Structure 1
């Protein structure tokens, strides 16, 4: 009896320590993000003197960044590239993942292993071959090139995630749709696809965050003033700090980069958690 009481006390202590660590991490994160947010409304002088917002809010930081550094254009570029890529990944990979998860055919395991194993290939190894292919197709420095690359690089993780999620959907649902006269394609899009919404939303958010902050592929394939992404634009602002010293503008640009993914996660956090737990246990 004493042994169980001792173990229970130890678990309570560990629980308190874990909760304390979590609270400290949350406080640190809120303070750090809050300081960056406040700095984006301050002046560079106030930032260096550690007196942020001493003279009030300066909305002109955001206006200056939009006009001087063309952040609005880069924002739209990133939104277009990332949006089309996320939609393209779902349209192409969702049916493939369902087939690989629920249909038995020769070579299925080899295909599944091949797709998932590509997650371990460093992107830098593919840089030169992809650049040569894109150049021969005449797509270099075009939106089509970066969207295709984003779709292809997001496919392995998307398949890895959706395989486990689609395996939880009962086959009887598709069988009922087939009995009602649907083809396999119609059965997927009309019955299975809507049921997989939590998993699809979750993997899309993960892909969106990854692609929104992507830097390497954009640097090689769309590094022009007209096609540049938001991450490249932010790096250009950082480089410009060497001459201008506009640190308030830099923090304003950082907030512009950070806010979309933050809002997206806050609004869809419940669907993300349901999507993760939904694919965790095979029913």
Structure 2
């Protein structure tokens, strides 16, 4: 029993160390965002009190409100588009047997291994030839179609785990395949759709590479890309407290979202891993 207890404690040591490290890092960043630059460099955080002006100045001196709105539009529209495109494809792959199914599965899985850097130049050439560079819809299209392979891969397991007797019963009652998919299968797969949406929200909100290439209009920048400009500008002026404030504003939305739905993510992945 004593050996078992020691082994169990040792297992939790890396987790506790990581937790302490994370709390210290983000705690320091939070306190630094409410301090002055002098206090940051002298390691005397909050010595002169709490400075909420670091956040108010951020909105006054930059267009961070516009950048937040841009990211919100990109994230919400892209997540909806990913579900619209990936759900029917995953439904067919998970529920219907047809010739060439394994090849299609392999194509989607292979697409997951393609690095974004490899397809960025062809995509940019395509959108440039269509005169779509700098448009809001350009980045949305890129986010949708670059995330569809993972979405199909994840949702296929959820659709495959739903009993086929439900569709058979619906067919007996005169419900066609499309109607059954919308009214029966999609509600049954809501755990998988929610899990996928959470992953996409966190990924798209913090995405930087595609935004750097396709959002070349400053007024179309998402918050992650705008953060880099804010950091460079505040570094030149020596406003390091503003840098911490901007970083936390970008980080907090996805962090709060993860705290609220972390249990649903685990439950959703567990459900999707069981096929029946």
TM-score by length of 1: 0.94
Is residue 2:21 matched to residue 1:15? Answer: no
User: Deviation string for 1:255-281 (max 9, x for gaps)?
Assistant: 111111111111112211110111122
Partner SS, residue 199 of structure 1: helix
Is residue 2:220 matched to residue 1:234? Answer: no
Matches within 5 A, 1:240-279: 240-279=233-272
Deviation >2 Å, runs of 4+: 8-14
Structure 2 CA distance, aligned partners of 1:183 and 1:48?
A: 67
Matches within 5 A, 1:1-283: 11-283=4-276
Shift of 1:226: 0.6
Structure 2 CA distance, aligned partners of 1:52 and 1:224?
A: 37
Figure out how many residues of one structure are paired with residues of the other and give that number. 276
What root-mean-square deviation, in Å, do the aligned CA atoms of Structure 1 and Structure 2 show?
1.3
User: Deviation string for 1:8-66 (max 9, x for gaps)?
Assistant: 76554332111122112111111211111111111111111111122222111111111
8 Å Cα contact 1:237-1:250 kept in structure 2: yes
Structure 2 CA distance, aligned partners of 1:69 and 1:11?
A: 56
User: Deviation string for 1:54-80 (max 9, x for gaps)?
Assistant: 222211111111121211111111111
8 Å Cα contact 2:133-2:216 kept in structure 1: no
TM-score by length of 2: 0.96
Q: Gaps (5+ residues) in structure 1?
A: 1-7
Q: Gaps (5+ residues) in structure 2?
A: none
User: Deviation string for 1:64-111 (max 9, x for gaps)?
Assistant: 111212111111111110110011001110111011111011111111
Structure 1 CA distance, aligned partners of 2:105 and 2:241?
A: 48
8 Å Cα contact 2:234-2:242 kept in structure 1: no
Structure 2 CA distance, aligned partners of 1:14 and 1:164?
A: 35
Structure 1 CA distance, aligned partners of 2:36 and 2:172?
A: 67
Shift of 1:139: 1.0
Structure 2 CA distance, aligned partners of 1:12 and 1:86?
A: 45
Give the corresponding residue for 1:5: none
User: Deviation string for 1:155-209 (max 9, x for gaps)?
Assistant: 1111111111211111111222222221111101111111111111111111111
